Structure 1
Amino acid sequence: MNINSSQSSKTEVSRDDLYDQVWSTPMSRLAERYDVSGSYLARVCEALNVPRPPVGYWQKKEVGKAQPQPELPPAQPGDQIVWSKNKPIARSAGAVRQRQPNRKAAKGRDGRHPILLGVEKHFLKTRKIEEEEFLRPYKTLLPDIITSELCLEHAIKTADKVYRALEKTGHRVLFAAPDQKKLRRVAIEEREKPVGDRKYGRYSMGSIWSPHRPTVTYVGDVPFGLTITEMTERSTMRYVGGKFVREDSARVKGLRSRQLANTWTTEQDLPCGRLKLTAYSPIQGVEWEESWQETTKVTLGSMVDAIVRKLSSSKSRVSDLMNRAREEAAQRQRDWEESQECWRRDEDRRRIEQARSESQKQLSKIMEEWKLALSTELFFREAEKRIDGIDDDRRHILEERLKNARSMLGSLDPLDFLETWHAPHEIYVPKYSDE
């Protein structure tokens, strides 16, 4: 596969093609071809799980001492398999790759799951929010964790426990790869008790942050989306000193009667400090969802084993739903293609009739023009006959006029008229031979 720099930004490269290229062309030259740095291309290889030649490989190859070329490992479920310059690359899961059941779950240097390393600072770098609202970080490639600042540490620890338990069972946890557009995040119900209208945020119109790509775990080849969200509870809020504060807060309780005179109350849904884990199918058309909620007495951490068992036992059910969704999608595609084919045939018939009508109108117009030309010729012939019977002076003038008039008249040959006519098939060529 030969790529020049003008095409590199538009060309998609599969991991098989990339593997062939990095073992046939030195990385520095290949990086120039794609107009990227060598270090970036190395990251692309890592993201697509493509082995690349070690340092000194090409020099050793010239003298016949290079190590044998390793085979391309099979892609794991969830791996990115296509890359192009104008698209992002998957975040490397490092030690998470090729995880086998019953092996120790991947850990970072601080003991956390790799996708949770250093995420606090990104969550805390947030857009402006009202007091007690959910964090809205600027960074969008983060684990699917929805939380307030007060609950952030608890949410991350819980996510780590869930992720590592899944990894220990052989279920990879990672961000959906950027080339897997079919994986989508579903809408998550954040209310602990969904009653009545949602009233999150000031004026009940607050938006809740969500990541750019879902966090997924793979049970075999079946993906499950994972969202950990701090739930909200309905709270009475009092407007005091230019902002809303909880009615049961120490600040409100400390106000005197005269200080409450010019205040008023409303209701809002505020983060309550308790978490909910929602597992769902990220495949379009597959309706499957399970959730586990903390209570004042039970934490998500104590439910981890049940969560893992449920996801493992749901693989067959969700796989069946995925197959059904694929069949339904294929049927919808066939129905759409059939409807498009019917529309094209109808349009073809309409264009044929339109061409026939235009051709008939043109032919009628040509015949009328020929008839008019004939009548004009008869007029000229009659005029020529009568010119012979008049005096010379007047005849000379009329002969000159008749000559000029004849020069303005075109051909009277019906074949010349016929040559200007367009037959129906010349106006429109039918697309279907059976029409």
Structure 2
Amino acid sequence: MTKIADHHRVSSSFLARACTRMNVPRPPRGHWVKLENGKPSPQPSLPEAGPGDLQVWRKGDALGAASQPVPKAPAPRKIRPEQLRISRSRQHPVVVGAYEVFAQGRVIDQGFLKPGKQRLVDVVVTKPQLESALKLANQLFLKLEAAGHRVMFAPSDRTYARAPFDEHEHPPKKPRRRHPALWSPSKPTVVFVGTVAIGLTLFEMTEELEARYIDGEYVPTSKITSQQLRRLSSSWNWSTRMDFATGRLCIRAFSPYPGADWSQSWKEVKQSPLRGQLDDIVQQLTDAAPVVARLVEEAEEHARVRQKEWEEQIRRLEERQQIQRQNEAREQARADLLSVIKQWDDIRRIQDFFRDVENSTSNLPDAARCIAMDKLTQARELVGELDALKALLQWKGPKDRL
């Protein structure tokens, strides 16, 4: 490790982190001593790259900065029910400890929980539904793992985005902006089917009901007791429509890849709870992986086309700017040259004037001639002389200005 690290001019600890990030096995402590003493220390084979594993590292790259290949789905297969048998007592690592953090979160509009921590499983529910929602998420994750699909928080090998959703059981035709906003995690919860990531969100749905304002809160009209009705003032006996949590859950799968728009939802109804649909959901997620992979490939191809178009636009813009700079330099150089020539021409005419004056002073008396020569000296100092060759050498041509 130290020799290879020295070759790449990085520290051995950094190289160890790179191997861990790339899931590359490295010799454990004491490996070389065992070999020297004839003791076995088997070398593990290089495993297949898993979801989120870095596959390329070059000197100067930050760990996780290398680009990843297009995700690929495994070969289509039918999942047998016996494969998805799970232990009800086991907890998936993504769900472990989530209940306590959610339960301590603050309660916002409609009773939804908003925990202070953001690196949590993607569950958006009210407190009465928290326990059942986490149990449902745990069962789904374990069944996905039993089917050979890895569930985890989105890794940092590429950009994974959580798709927004509408918590309404029957979303309105015109989307409404919700305030306060529901809780959202810092990293989406994803399942990898092969190397294809599919985002998962479990949330409690809401419905719009007629309600009245009683004792500081809105109460659905259907749940107002007769005693509360008698207490209502005739002047304040008015109703409005409000959203209320239904207690029914929805599992939403989505594409976390930018530009690849895909989603599918499974809603809970009284006659068909989601717990009994988990096997079908696992199969449908498995079948959806090729669709998501194709959308990602198309999105990346469109991104490459847009990138080339943008680069071509930049190249054309730079060419136009270069031509404009050349034209401006040419015009400025010409203007400066004409200015120098005009200045030289003016000084030559003035010098001809001075010579004519000097020749004319020869006919003057001595006193007048002295006065004229003194004035002539002052005039020459005031105007100065122009060296044509020096002025040309100091002049900047069009190429000198670029």
TM-score normalised by structure 1 residue count = 0.76
Q: Which residue of 1 aligns with 2:50?
A: 76
Residue 388, structure 1, aligned to residue 362, structure 2: yes
Deviations, residues 339-377 of structure 1 (Å, cap 9, x unaligned): 111111111111111111111111111111111111221
AA in 2 matched with 1:375: R
Q: Which residue of 1 aligns with 2:166?
A: 189
Instruction: Tell me the distance in 2 between the aligned counterparts of 1:257 and 1:109.
Output: 49
What runs of 5+ residues in structure 1 fail to find an aligned partner?
Answer: 3-18, 35-40, 88-100, 429-435
AA in 1 matched with 2:284: K
Instruction: Tell me the distance in 2 between the aligned counterparts of 1:400 and 1:65.
Output: 111
Is the Cα–Cα contact under 8 Å of residues 22 and 53 in structure 1 kept in the other structure? no
Shift of 1:252: 7.7
AA in 2 matched with 1:417: A
AA in 1 matched with 2:141: Y
Is the Cα–Cα contact under 8 Å of residues 225 and 279 in structure 1 kept in the other structure? yes
Deviations, residues 121-160 of structure 1 (Å, cap 9, x unaligned): 2222324524x33211121111111111111111111111
Identity in percent: 33
Is the Cα–Cα contact under 8 Å of residues 190 and 200 in structure 2 kept in the other structure? yes
Distance 1:136 1:384, change over 3 A: same
2:103 corresponds to which of 96, 108, 124: 124
Shift of 1:76: 0.4
Is the Cα–Cα contact under 8 Å of residues 34 and 40 in structure 2 kept in the other structure? yes
Instruction: Tell me the distance in 2 between the aligned counterparts of 1:133 and 1:351.
Output: 64
In the alignment of these two chains, the number of paired residues is 384
Shift of 1:113: 1.0
Instruction: Specify the SS of the correspondent of 2:94.
Output: helix
Instruction: Tell me the distance in 1 between the aligned counterparts of 2:21 and 2:396.
Output: 61
Shift of 1:114: 1.0
Residue 222, structure 1, aligned to residue 196, structure 2: yes
Deviations, residues 385-411 of structure 1 (Å, cap 9, x unaligned): 222232333332332332233234444
2:250 corresponds to which of 276, 281, 288: 276
AA in 2 matched with 1:388: S
Distance 1:110 1:387, change over 3 A: farther
Q: Which residue of 2 aligns with 1:247?
A: 221
Equivalences for 1:142-153 in 2 at 5 Å? 142-153=120-131
State the structure with bigger RCO (CA 8 A, min sep 6), 1 or 2.
2
Distance 1:292 1:23, change over 3 A: farther
1:353 corresponds to which of 296, 318, 327: 327
Shift of 1:326: 2.0
Q: Which residue of 2 aligns with 1:111?
A: 90
Instruction: Specify the SS of the correspondent of 1:321.
Output: helix
Instruction: Tell me the distance in 2 between the aligned counterparts of 1:195 and 1:371.
Output: 83
Distance 1:24 1:337, change over 3 A: closer
Instruction: Specify the SS of the correspondent of 2:222.
Output: coil
Q: Which residue of 2 aligns with 1:206?
A: 180
Instruction: Specify the SS of the correspondent of 2:208.
Output: strand
Instruction: Tell me the distance in 1 between the aligned counterparts of 2:6 and 2:47.
Output: 15
Instruction: Specify the SS of the correspondent of 2:218.
Output: strand
AA in 1 matched with 2:96: L
AA in 2 matched with 1:396: C
Q: Which residue of 2 aligns with 1:397?
A: 371
Residue 256, structure 1, aligned to residue 215, structure 2: no
Q: Which residue of 1 aligns with 2:391?
A: 417
Distance 1:387 1:68, change over 3 A: farther
Instruction: Specify the SS of the correspondent of 1:344.
Output: helix
Equivalences for 1:32-51 in 2 at 5 Å? 49-51=23-25
Is the Cα–Cα contact under 8 Å of residues 199 and 267 in structure 1 kept in the other structure? no
TM-score normalised by structure 2 residue count = 0.82
Shift of 1:86: 12
Q: CA RMSD in A?
A: 3.7
Shift of 1:274: 0.7
Greater mean alpha carbon deviation, residues 52-61 or residues 163-172: 52-61
Distance 1:135 1:251, change over 3 A: farther
Instruction: Tell me the distance in 2 between the aligned counterparts of 1:122 and 1:233.
Output: 27
1:370 corresponds to which of 344, 355, 367: 344
Distance 1:64 1:45, change over 3 A: same
Residue 309, structure 1, aligned to residue 283, structure 2: yes
Instruction: Tell me the distance in 2 between the aligned counterparts of 1:368 and 1:107.
Output: 96
Distance 1:110 1:382, change over 3 A: farther
Instruction: Tell me the distance in 2 between the aligned counterparts of 1:215 and 1:376.
Output: 87
Deviations, residues 146-201 of structure 1 (Å, cap 9, x unaligned): 111111111111111111111111111111112322x211121211011355568x
Instruction: Tell me the distance in 2 between the aligned counterparts of 1:169 and 1:368.
Output: 89
Instruction: Tell me the distance in 2 between the aligned counterparts of 1:25 and 1:186.
Output: 41
Q: Which residue of 1 aligns with 2:266?
A: 292
Greater mean alpha carbon deviation, residues 151-160 or residues 61-70: 61-70
